[in-house]
Amino acid sequence: MAGSTARRRREEAKTEPKAPGEEAKPPHVPELLPAFPGLPLRIWMALLVLLVSAAAVILVSTWKPAEHPGKQTDFEVWASARRNLPDALQMKLALTGFGLCGIPRRGNRCARFVLDGVVPAAEVKELAELLQWLVSEAWGAGSGPPSVVDLHAETISYKDQRGVAVMTLKEKSELQQDNFVNLTMFMEFKSLKFTQKQVEAYSRVRQALRKQLSRLFGVPLEGLQHDMTFFSHINGSKTAQTTHDEYWHSHIDTEQYGTFAYTVLLYLNSADHDFDGGEFIFEESRGNGVVVPAAAVEPRAGRVVAFSSDAENPHKVLKVSRGVRMALTAAFTCSQEQAASIQSFPNPSMVEWSGTAAE
């Protein structure tokens, strides 16, 4: 490259000999610019540059990405609901160069992963049915679209209505804490028990997610402990009643929950098929509190999303416009103290044991 430029310069010097002291004359360009033949070439060149720049500005400001009917298009869809990811692992890291996640640092806390097929379909189905069963038994659970079931904290979202009205006031006050009821007391009240199959599926899935996370981020398994784990059930036909129901806001998990080091999401059902909307959006931080959508993951039964939980990964869930969206959020911590505060599941008295006891 450098050699050919030098050669061209030598040839130009040969073809345009100049007398000592003679000014270099601009070449004549009659066909190209016939209207103002008197203008010097550098003015023409400046005009040309201006024209090209203006055209580029207009082109960039009016360009819109190709639209898919009914879809938002201000972000790239990394993983669509219709297509299984070609490999078990799609290591589509944030390569946009913006925000703190601009340089993927696998093994150093800043990366985003989307995977399909790491949890057996039968176990995903078992968990989806478990969640649907509990929500149905709890008369639809929360009054707004999102209901949360936490098997460790023993809570399920609750609305004060029909079904619970059959309880005495004393039973109600024992059960209820804010928008939640105590799951164990509620299940006792309704004579419900977990099956051994449900308990085992839950435990295996949680362990599988932990192993995947350890592999993806290169964190030794022993260092990676379970933090909160909870199910979310978003019913698109309900209307938000309180600010707690507004699940669609952008957030950072460490700010929202306080302790997470890593967040793993497992989707229990699929966009398009079971519900509309509900895309998970990874955002990019542009500084000064400005976050912009960066990439969308459409939920698909069995799909896993894993990311480090701090400011490098702001995210949100888009509104669900039809159907019910179900997911498991499994958080992980590196703090032994935090891990020790998480209650184990199950309470053996809540399980209908069918054979050998679960680990």
Ligand X SMILES: O=C(O)CCC(=O)C(=O)O
User: Which residue, 186 or 282, has its beta carbon nearer to Fe ion?
Assistant: 282
User: Which residue, 242 or 256, has its beta carbon nearer to ligand X?
Assistant: 256
Q: Measured between alpha carbons, how far is 58 from 103 in angstroms, rounded to an integer?
A: 31
Cβ-proximal residue to Fe ion, closest one: 253
- Asked whether 132 and 234 are in contact (CB, 8 A), the reply is no
Residue type, 155: T
Q: Which does 114 bind (CB under 5 to 8 A by kind): ligand X, Fe ion, none?
A: none
Among the options 112, 206, 300, 325, which is catalytic? 325
Of 196-204, 246-254, 270-278, 338-346, the window that binds Fe ion (rule: CB under 5 A) is: 246-254
User: Which residue, 198 or 309, has its beta carbon nearer to ligand X?
Assistant: 309
Q: Which does 307 bind (CB under 5 to 8 A by kind): Fe ion, ligand X, none?
A: none
Q: Measured between alpha carbons, how far is 62 from 30 in angstroms, rounded to an integer?
A: 35
Q: Where does residue 115 rank: exposed (0-12), middle (13-18), buried (19+ CB within 10 A)?
A: buried
310 contributes a contact to Fe ion by CB under 5 A: no
- Asked whether 299 and 81 are in contact (CB, 8 A), the reply is yes
Structure letter (DSSP) for residue 78 = E
280-285, strands of its sheet edge to edge = 76-79, 291-297, 280-285, 315-317
199 contributes a contact to ligand X by CB under 6 A: no
Q: How far is the CB of 99 from ligand X (least distance, A)?
A: 17
Residue type, 7: R
329 contributes a contact to ligand X by CB under 6 A: yes
The number of residues making up the chain comes to 359
280 contributes a contact to ligand X by CB under 6 A: yes
Q: Which does 327 bind (CB under 5 to 8 A by kind): ligand X, Fe ion, none?
A: ligand X
Paired with 95 in beta bridges are none
**What is the secondary structure of 301-323 as a DSSP string?**
TT-EEEEE-STT--EEEPPEEEE
Is 83 annotated as catalytic? no
User: Which residue, 126 or 283, has its beta carbon nearer to ligand X?
Assistant: 283
Q: What angle do CA 179, 140, 158 make, to 5 degrees?
A: 15
253 contributes a contact to Fe ion by CB under 5 A: yes
Q: How far is the CB of 303 from ligand X (least distance, A)?
A: 10
Residue ranges in contact with ligand X by CB under 6 A? 232, 253, 256, 265, 280, 315, 317, 327, 329
Residues forming the active site: 325
